[in-house]
Amino acid sequence: MEEILRAIGILIAFIVVLALAYLTARFVGTKFGGYTSGKYIKVIDRIFLGRDKWVCLIQVGNQYYIVGITGQNMEFLGQITQQDLIPIHSEEENGTFAKLLGNYVKKLKGEANGDA
């Protein structure tokens, strides 16, 4: 009986830790999400190129600028128009975490059923 109570306690502690991690991630995301846009400037997109190296697409008014960023430097790479902006990946392709997790779980269930 003592082992069952201990297992239930561990399960409850695990769920509490997961809930706190989720709430912390949401709080940090909303807190730092505001740093990517201001009143007159907005980071539209960025891509990680390597250790401490990024390329950012920045919107200032109706102008779009491409900027290279490293740990020590920031360099103007060019300017493009809004007509030149063509999404490479659609929102549906990227999916949400819940959708990706659901697909992974379905895949695991399919493999489990195939093994049986």
Same domain, 50 and 101: yes
Single-letter amino acid, residue 21: A
Looking at the domain assignment, is residue 111 inside a domain? no
Same domain, 46 and 87: yes
Burial of 22 (C-beta count, 10 Å sphere; 0-12/13-18/19+): exposed
Looking at the domain assignment, is residue 110 inside a domain? no
pLDDT at 37: 64
Domain assignment of residue 16, given as a range: 1-36
Task: Match 């779009």 to its residue by tokens.
Answer: 64
pLDDT at 44: 87
pLDDT at 50: 87
Sign of CA dihedral 12, 18, 21, 22: negative
Statement: residue 8 has pLDDT above 80: yes
**Domain count of the fold of the chain:** 2
pTM (2 decimals)? 0.50
Burial 60-85 (b: 16+ CB within 10 A, else e): eeeebbebebeeeeeeeeeeeeeeee
Cα 68 to Cα 55: distance, rounded to the nearest angstrom: 5
pLDDT per position as a tens digit, 47-99: 888 888 999 999 998 899 999 999 899 999 999 988 888 877 665 555 677 78
